[in-house]
Amino acid sequence: MTQNSEYKELLLNRKKEIEKIIKNLENELQSVNGCDIKEDGDFAACSTNSENNYLIYKQQLKELKEIEEALLAIDKGTYGICKMCEEEINPERLKIKPFAKYCIDCREIIEKEK
């Protein structure tokens, strides 16, 4: 069994990376386009040029939230358990995506429902 501390390290490293990306994007979006970032991560007014950056920014914020949830789950001892079927998530999957909330089977079901 892979130790949770190993995943924790993966998650913390990824968190640092993402926080850096988010900061850079915030700076870019604000300085280049004069966008006004509100607390909820929305922009008051943006040029269409920044739309791409904005999408990436949103995506990164979402991932950051997922990482924080995963870190909480490690502390609570619920990490690595699928939120749908409550089976253990394959460790190989967690190594690639340490903030995964669902096992591969459930993930597929969710994807199909979308």
Binding site for Zn ion (CB under 5 A): 82, 84-85, 103, 106
Nearer to Zn ion, 64 or 100 (CB): 100
Nearest distance in Å: CB 101, Zn ion? 9
Nearer to Zn ion, 75 or 86 (CB): 86
R_g (Cα) of the chain, nearest Å:
17
Nearest distance in Å: CB 99, Zn ion? 15
Euclidean distance between CA atoms 54 and 62, whole angstroms: 12
Nearer to Zn ion, 11 or 103 (CB): 103
Strand partners, 37: 43
31 exposed, middle or buried (CB, 10 Å; 0-12, 13-18, 19+)? Answer: exposed
Which two three-digit tokens encode residue 69?
A: 């949830």
Nearest distance in Å: CB 64, Zn ion? 23
